[in-house]
A and B are shown apart, each in its own frame.
Chain A
Amino acid sequence: MKQTLKSRLTKTGSPSGMPDAVGREGQRSRAAIAICLFSFCFLVLAFRLTSLGMSEPEAAGWGVAAQAALTAGRPDILDRRGEVLATDIKTPSVYINPRQIVDVDDAVERLTSVLPDLDTEKLRQDMETNRAFVFVQREITPRQRAMIHQLGIPGLGFLEENRRVYPSAETTSHLLGLVNVDHEGISGIEKYIDGTGLSALRSAGFTGDRDQTPVQLALDLRVQHALRQELSDAMEMFTAKAASGVVMDVNSGEIVAMVSLPDFDPYQQEQALEDDRLNRITSGVYELGSVFKTFTFAMLLDSGLGDLNSQFDATQPIRIGSFTISDFHGENRVLSVPEAYTKSSNIAAARMALAVGIDGHQEFLRRIGMFDRLRTELPESAAPLLPRNWARISTMTIAYGHGISVTPLQAVTAASAMVNGGFHIPPTFLPRSPLEARELSRAVIQPETSNQMRYLLRLNAEEGTGRRANVDGYRVGGKTGTAEKIVDGRYDSTRKLNTFMGAFPMDDPQYAFIITIDEPHGIAANGGGSTAGFNAVPTAGRVIARIAPMLGVTPSFDDRNISAGAILASF
């Protein structure tokens, strides 16, 4: 450009007179300098404009950053049918920027007209500080927010904060766990969700919006509620210390319901720390007593050392040193395997375990997962307590459930394996199909043994200690356990942990369950007994009667002849 200008000037310039020529030369160079200068200025302007036009508008100031941090969202948690178990609700909080407050007295007065609970002295002090941000009140209602907005006080603003809400409160509190003030999971499924990459997302700042995929659980809220209500009724009826129950799908390993009472209110987090309110299903280990005979019998049948027709001598108690193993329902005769099961004979169970031997016993218990800490999605878990020196006496007592402490979840997982054809499936709180479960499973007993166990469990509910759980139509099978608790190193016959463990429907098992009631008392209404048959069993019966229709278990009545006219009476 400069070049062309120069040449043009040269062409049009006058060829005459030196002084004239010199003057023109000076004008030309001055013009050139001016042109250069202006061109440069315009270029700079153009460049700056382009760069401004290209850049994204910058998020303004600290308020927005604080907002982003506070609204870090968590995914909703749904039950298997899509009911919301946990969600985020945005609640406004009001803050002030004291530097922008013009008239402190006026602002205090007007704010307290909407929020009368405010401490005026503190508010005044806050307004006179030189900070840029002070919360006035957190979690106000949308209505209050609108009213404060109407006041039009300068230097006042709102932040939206996420609050975690649990519509079903106590019913699901153990399972879902809790979040802390920073909205991070600290227990239960909430913590599991953080572990799956949410915390990484959060630190990268990607969790501001709430379009996160909800987390679906295997839990069925209706079943959970029914289980909890029956357990809490039972706790009250038998003035028990605690109660717990879990229902597991035997083919997929899904936990459909899990309740441990006393539970806690998710809005009163300090409750969750009380010892008494721990999740007994996953983090408590117990000597489960006679329910363990189920595993002893399965071990015997699976080892081939005995079959259903084998006989075991229970004529007299077994004495080892100062220790005596005797039967609660003492028959004092030789018992067949089914008899020993329905009479819950300690002596026969001890003899069975001895027949298999210590090594075989240990190997079997390890196979069905009794030796290892059972880990699930829940961060809470407990390792089983095993005898330090496994002697003959250990094998004999463990045969009937004393001397080993496991979590109820371990027991129910093993119980599933007893009835589902022999597959030990790791339990899960997330949805899983039977096919996926099959790939994760281990065959621990033969299908034939599993059939025999179904027969024994069903028999026990028909004519043994589990009679009171025999819900019409649902073919319940199960084994009772009445375990004396250890108090100060000795078994205390007045404190019992009563258990009923089983599955239904026994002709095609779909769900396994375990119900425990801690330190129940006898009541006159059912004869005053305090063994499991009087409390854990009828409770299980009531639970099954309620949940089986929800779970879609088809009822069938063996004694009901479908083509006969007699059934018409039952419509």
Chain B
Amino acid sequence: MFRFINLAAIAITLIAAIVLFRVKYEATDFAGEVAKLRTGIASERAQINVLKAEWNFLNEPRRIQRLADQYLDLQNMDAHQIVTFQELSARLGRQESIRVERSSDEFTGSINTPEQ
């Protein structure tokens, strides 16, 4: 009886020790992986930041203007180029009702063509 209990206890101890050993190493591995991923994320972030900065360098208005002056035949916008929807309907020459709505910063418009 005692022998059986002792053997069982020894077996349980051994199994527990083995399991614990493996779990510990697994945890260490995972911790290493977490650290690696963290470093990876940090370096990706830094990379993204560098790219963002570069994007802003490339899109800097002064640079865009220089390039536009050099390669494009664009001019500054003139106030006459901006028209309202009402003026559009005059141009279309029809009696559409034009509706413009403003929700926060977005303008939306719709043209209802009357039934012919």
Total residues of chain A contacting the partner, CB 8 A: 35
Is the beta-carbon distance between A225 and B77 smaller than 8 angstroms? no
A459 to B78, CA, bound (A): 23
Question: In the complex, which of the residues A84, A165, A169, A471 contacts B79, with contact meaning CB atoms closer than 8 Å?
Answer: A471
**Is A51 positioned at the interface, with any CB of B under 8 Å from its CB?**
no
- Choose among B53, B57, B59, B79 the residue that contacts A474 (Cβ–Cβ < 8 A): B79
Q: Which residues on B sit within 8 Å (CB–CB) of A169?
A: 60
* Residues of B28-63 whose CB lies within 8 A of A: 45-46, 49-50, 52-53, 56-57, 59-62
Contacts of B78 in A (CB 8 A): 472, 545
Closest to B76 in A: A546
The answer to the question of B74 belonging to the interface, with a C-beta cut-off of 8 Å to chain A, is no
CB pair A472–B87 under 8 Å, yes or no, is no
How far, in Å, is B88 (CB) from chain A's closest CB?
10
Interface size class of B (residues with CB under 8 A): 20 to 34
Assess A210 versus B87: contact at CB under 8 Å? Given A171-B60, A171-B62: no
Compute how far the CA of A563 lies from the CA of B87 in the bound complex, rounded to whole angstroms.
8
- Cα distance A229–B1 when bound, in Å? 98
Q: Contacts A171-B61, A210-B45, A222-B61 given: A555-B87 contact, CB under 8 Å?
A: no
Q: Determine if A239 is an interface residue (Cβ-Cβ < 8 Å).
A: no
Q: Which residues of A contact B110 (CB under 8 A)?
A: none
A524 at the interface (CB under 8 A from B): no
A549 to B60, alpha carbons, bound, how many Å?
19
Name the contact of A225 in the complex, choosing from B65, B79, B80, B90 (C-beta under 8 A). B65
Cα distance, A84 to B76, chains bound together (Å): 24
Q: How far is the CA of A472 from the CA of B56 in the complex (A)?
A: 33
Q: Known: A474-B79, A549-B79. Contact between A562 and B87, CB under 8 A?
A: yes
Cβ of A90 and Cβ of B79 under 8 Å apart?
A: no
Nearest chain A residue, comparing its CB with the CB of B46: A90
Would you call B91 an interface residue if the criterion is a C-beta within 8 Å of the partner chain's C-beta atoms?
A: yes
B83 at the interface (CB under 8 A from A): yes
> What 6 A-B pairs come out closest when comparing CB atoms?
A473-B79, A225-B61, A167-B56, A555-B79, A90-B46, A84-B56
List, sorted by A's number, 13 A–B pairs whose CB atoms are closer than 8 Å.
A89-B49, A89-B50, A89-B53, A165-B53, A472-B78, A473-B79, A545-B76, A546-B76, A555-B79, A555-B80, A567-B90, A570-B80, A571-B91
